Amino acid sequence: MSDNNIVLRVEDIHKSFGNNEVLRGISFGVRRGETKVFIGPSGTGKSTLLRCINQLTIPDRGSVWLDGEEVTNSGARINYFRQKIGMVFQNYYLFDHLTALKNVELALLKVRGMSRSEAREKALTELRQVGLEDWADHYPAELSGGQAQRVSIARALAMDPDVILFDEPTSALDPELTREVLEVMKKLALQGMTMLVVTHEMGFACSVATEILFMENGVVAEQGTPNLLMHDPKFTRMKNFIGQFDSYRGD
Amino acid sequence: MDQIAFIFDILLPALMQGLVITLKLIVWSAPFGLALGIGVAAGRQYGGPVLSRVCKTFVFLIKGTPLLLLLFILYFGLPSIGITFTALTASVIGFILCNGAYNSEYIRGALLSIKDGQMIAAQALGMTRAQAIRNVIMPQALRRAIPGLSNEFIYLIKYSSLAYMITVVELSGVGKNVATKYFIYTETFMVVGIVYLALVTITTVAVNILEKRVAVPGMNRAAAAQL
């Protein structure tokens, strides 16, 4: 792993909420163009980890580095890093009072300082990328969950981020809507976008992930390519976890 | 004297002069009252401990004392420490403070109703808290505060008559002067009342139009019910 390929480095992140230590020292590096997928039982700190990366949650210990610059303890410069680290949330969090187009435009206008026409063009390009150009003038309440999530992906893409964090992007969606969102994410991965994805979608993880990190009790319990984790007999934890899924689903 | 002639030849022309003063009071007070309300609500909700406490105390004082008292202090009290306002200015300042304090409570209630995700999403895009409040939170909160704010605006129309107590001869004041001069009380004050009713009616219609124009699908209960 040559070091100058590493775009995001996470070192020894710890985080507690009260007496509950959610993250107990997480470290990893992400190369440009990589898709890292985090899976594991609920409550093992996967979402907290993503939020620590863009400092929406401040970790107790450890550091995050983007392109060799420290994101943790960066003061007001955090707003620069947050442009470079996009985030997509489970519940979309679209701005309720703005149309799809304006949702994507807002940060371009206010944070990047683009002109109206520049921002509009950029926003339309990103909406086209997620297949929603025709829905540009609709408000969030008029969109399906899948469409809303695709708008929020377009909103993150518009900032030209170095990496996008996906926090359970399909957990609020039914299987059909899940598919349309995953297809967009897959396309992004193939285009070379660097992505960190927290998900329970094993099919997506196995087909798209460069590496799967199985988290349990605040640590990375197993780590490797999908092929390795699924087939190497050395790894058992994740297979057990998926096995529970499968018997629950009845197949 | 013929009543019709009294109303049309004497009362209404006089009331028009008073109406102009009343409108001045309202038009000068309302925008600043709204701005103050936004500032105080944001300061209380998002400011640091000191600013938040200052805003809270301001609202506490205004809510806890009669407006008339505030007007007396501004007009009769302050000259003793060398600050002199005209009666009209003192009234407008009093109304702005009062209107702002009450507006801030409506806006604060609306701010509390905005889901946390809106702020989180804005910050995740690299917006500062101030940018997020200005561009994401406030536009939503102000829409939700419209019913409350319009209520307060209507109060303003009516408590503008308190300016008469510090010598501003506005609508009610003119009515009082005409009534005592001609000894015609009931008819005079009924006509004055009708003028206030007209002002409030215009306001209500205007607010309804405004509410429809800024409505966003899914952002209020009525629209959500239609979906």
Residue in chain B closest to A161 (alpha carbons) equals: B125
Measured CA to CA, the distance from residue A239 to residue A210 in angstroms comes to 18
Q: What is the per-residue pLDDT across A198-239, written as a single tens digit (0 to 9) for each?
A: 999 999 999 999 999 999 999 999 999 998 888 888 888 888
> Which residues have C-beta within 8 Å of that of residue A242, sequence separation ≥ 6?
A202
Contact B125 A96 (CB under 8 A): no
Q: Which residues of A touch B219 (CB under 8 A)?
A: 96-97, 139, 141
| Model pTM above 0.95 | no
Among candidates B124, B136, B218 on the partner chain, residue whose Cβ is nearest the Cβ of A142: B218
**Structure confidence at residue A240 (pLDDT):** 85
Among candidates B117, B122, B227 on the partner chain, residue whose Cβ is nearest the Cβ of A91: B117
Answer whether residue B222 shows pLDDT above 80: no
* C-beta of residue B219 within 8 angstroms of C-beta of residue A141: yes
Q: Identify the band that residue B223 occupies on the pLDDT scale cut at 50, 70 and 90.
A: very low
Q: What is the per-residue pLDDT across B3-19, written as a single tens digit (0 to 9) for each?
A: 888 988 899 999 999 99
Percent of chain A with pLDDT over 90: 84
- Provide the shortest C-alpha distance from residue B114 to chain A (in Å): 10
Among candidates B120, B121, B131 on the partner chain, residue whose Cβ is nearest the Cβ of A110: B131
- The verdict on B120 touching A (C-beta cutoff 8 Å) is yes
Strand partners, A13: A26
Answer whether residue A33 shows pLDDT above 50: yes
Q: What is the per-residue pLDDT across A92-128, written as a single tens digit (0 to 9) for each?
A: 999 999 999 999 999 999 999 999 999 999 999 999 9
Percent of chain A with pLDDT over 70: 95
**Structure confidence at residue B150 (pLDDT):** 96
Q: What is the per-residue pLDDT across B46-104, written as a single tens digit (0 to 9) for each?
A: 999 999 999 999 999 999 999 999 999 999 999 999 999 999 999 999 999 999 999 99
* C-beta of residue A111 within 8 angstroms of C-beta of residue A188: no
Beta-strand runs (E) in chain A = 6-17, 20-31, 35-39, 61-66, 69-70, 85-88, 163-167, 195-198, 211-216, 219-224
Higher local confidence (pLDDT), B41 or A251? B41
Answer whether residue A1 shows pLDDT above 70: no
**Structure confidence at residue A239 (pLDDT):** 83
Query: Which of these, B196, B170, B180, lies nearest to B87 by C-alpha position?
Result: B170
A99-112 b/e (C-beta count within 10 Å ≥ 16 → b): bbbbbbbbbbbbbb
- Provide the shortest C-alpha distance from residue B113 to chain A (in Å): 13
**Structure confidence at residue B227 (pLDDT):** 42
For tokens 């002639």, what's the residue?
B5
Measured CA to CA, the distance from residue B104 to residue B115 in angstroms comes to 19
Measured CA to CA, the distance from residue B42 to residue B25 in angstroms comes to 26
Output the average pLDDT for chain B: 94
The first and second tokens of residue B33, run together, are: 């009252």
Answer whether residue A61 shows pLDDT above 80: yes
Measured CA to CA, the distance from residue B14 to residue B195 in angstroms comes to 12
Residue in chain B closest to A111 (alpha carbons) equals: B127
Q: Which residues of B touch A83 (CB under 8 A)?
A: 125-126
- Provide the shortest C-alpha distance from residue B209 to chain A (in Å): 18
> Which residues have C-beta within 8 Å of that of residue B102, sequence separation ≥ 6?
B37, B62, B63, B152, B155
Query: Which of these, A102, A79, A81, lies nearest to A9 by C-alpha position?
Result: A81
C-alpha pair distances (Å), A92 with each of A173, B121, B179 = 11, 8, 64
User: ipTM of the assembly?
Assistant: 0.91
Interface of A with B (CB under 8 A): 54, 56, 76, 79-83, 86-87, 89, 91, 93-97, 106-107, 110-111, 139-142, 152, 155-156, 159
Contact A159 B123 (CB under 8 A): no
Q: What is the per-residue pLDDT across B128-160, written as a single tens digit (0 to 9) for each?
A: 999 999 999 999 999 999 999 999 999 999 999
